[in-house]
Amino acid sequence: MVDAINDTSAVRSIAELTASKADQSKELGKNEFLELMIAQLEHQDPLNPQKGGEFIAQLAQFSSVEGIENLNNTVTTMVNSFQSSQTLQATSMIGRTVQVETNAGVLNSSGVLAGSYDLPLDSQKVNIDIRDSSGQLVRQIYIGPQSKGALAFEWDGKDEDGNAVPVGLYEFDVNAEIGGQSIALTTYMDGNVDSVSMQGNVLALNIGGVGTVAIDQIREIK
């Protein structure tokens, strides 16, 4: 008579293999699934073999695991291809001027620096304080009553006495008087795109004087 293999031994062997695979990865791939199924067949009781229906069900599960893995690989390939294409297209922005949310901008040899601000409500007046990289006040621009909305401004690169200031980084503090109170406004400044890079899964633009900015934070391309 053929001695039946002890069920407890079979279960223990499969459990040990499962634990070993779990240590290597938190996910069960098609290869691990196949190994477990083969181990189960090897350790089954020859006097009480696995029923055909159960075996077919396991084969169906194996097919499902393999299909999901192939689908994941296909999606990953598509995502990588899309990111590469997006990066290639974004290189056309190098050298272009864009507007991003920041209160700093670089005055170049053109002697003009432009920006904009968001005014939430009608204002009696708007003030723009311009400071150099050391924090020294260079110029104050006083603007009269303004209606709410996105409003643009431009600085000619001159100080209070009308003298041209050196090229470099300057900060802009825009404040509006609304209802008798002074409110700091969100400022957007122009900057030149120096290069394009991937920050994780995010496409970013490296803007002179501003730094790295995600492409979806670009307010305007000029």
Listed in order, strand segments (DSSP E) in the chain are: 97-101, 104-107, 113-119, 125-132, 137-143, 149-155, 168-178, 181-184, 187-199, 202-207, 211-214, 218-221
Provide, rounded to the nearest whole percent, the portion of the chain with pLDDT above 90: 39
pLDDT value for 156: 95
**CATH 2.60.40.4070 residue window(s) in the chain:** 94-221
Distance CA 102, CA 96 (A): 17
Provide, rounded to the nearest whole percent, the portion of the chain with pLDDT above 70: 59
Model confidence over 120-154: pLDDT tens digits? 999 999 999 999 999 999 999 999 899 999 999 99
Distance CA 136, CA 132 (A): 6
* Phi, psi of 91, deg, nearest 5: -65, -20
At the second CATH level, the architecture of 94-221 is Sandwich (2.60)
pTM above 0.95, yes or no: no
Give Cα 136 distance to the centre of its chain. Answer: 35
Mean pLDDT across 66-81: 63
* Phi, psi of 111, deg, nearest 5: 75, 15
Model confidence over 24-36: pLDDT tens digits? 444 555 566 667 6
